[in-house]
Structure 1
């Protein structure tokens, strides 16, 4: 396994797109989170009881866009080899396909989580600096964002795990489809179109059910730190839903990688 891990890491880090995509994960996450924090103010609240903003979730809102770069990274890690034909060389050098696939999954998800961790920490720091100036102060019932707070730490760590699972979902889809454009379209559609379709459902039972099983909506429940009882699904069960999607994609990809010719 060590040889496969070293080979996959060497391939991934030498791709010209890898550095740009990992940088995009961190930069997009921080930028969108900072803009979201700057756009919200207690002065804009219209509720008689005042604001009920989940400042931690708000501070992590950039993960929803940063994941797009993770999707592209996960897809290109596999489909790029099929597109160039280097998959034949890879399989000739490392004929144990299951071990090869596991090593690729570990390297891709690990890289995504490393970049995601930088983005998450930067986002929380930006929110901690910006939000007090918009009225989200301890006096208003909003203590400073801190990783020493259990729910905040869970939201931060869960967001990093979320991005790792998105990378695995994308890798699995790329292995099944073998085409970069098709795999990126399918995964992004699954993530971004599913919530839009959910909003068009008028039946409240089906609406709640679809929110519980939409991969992005369910997975990002891990970021919530307030009013957890109002969520369609709990933070950890929601992340479990995304893990099930990623696991199914990896299982299908692994089976087809072993069964098909290069």
Structure 2
């Protein structure tokens, strides 16, 4: 029987929403740069800052400021620390008001209804990701023991050890395990290396790295993801 493990950020909710609202308040009158492009750059710099902190090359308290400074430098700005702190304050505020989109809720309800074994594997700190999980009400669909945060697991996607930790804890068989995530280099590559099947939720319409191994399936809308999961869970039931 197939099991489905989901990424959290920008997969089960719209990660861009709090960024866009903070951008409009802090930098909206300072640049005409496309917000989605800035957001996508911020995700790259967020991962970069995360690894720098993890490796002891950047103080934890500088992590968010680094991300925002690097992002807006691409738009020709050089944010002051006061501005990056203000951005973080507004961003954190809007993070407290996250919600699961209706189509994603329908998909998760379907998984529960069809008794599909599901879990979450997300990168980040236990504190930050734990807050998001609580605000989003994820324990409605995912038992606490099936929610895995890299900070607690001891390995970060795409490190195969992160996937193996989930595999071991949930007693998964790789050939029957599917991973759903939005980031190619982190989610698709990581799941490939673990021997799992992959649904790439490419709703930001990114290009796959040249020469990279392709996912089992690529979908670009929440509706397409729902349809894919519906077919997969039907296969499980039959």
With the length of structure 2 as denominator, give the TM-score of the two structures. Answer: 0.29
Considering fraction of residues, name the structure with more strand.
2
Give 1 or 2 for the bigger CA radius of gyration: 1
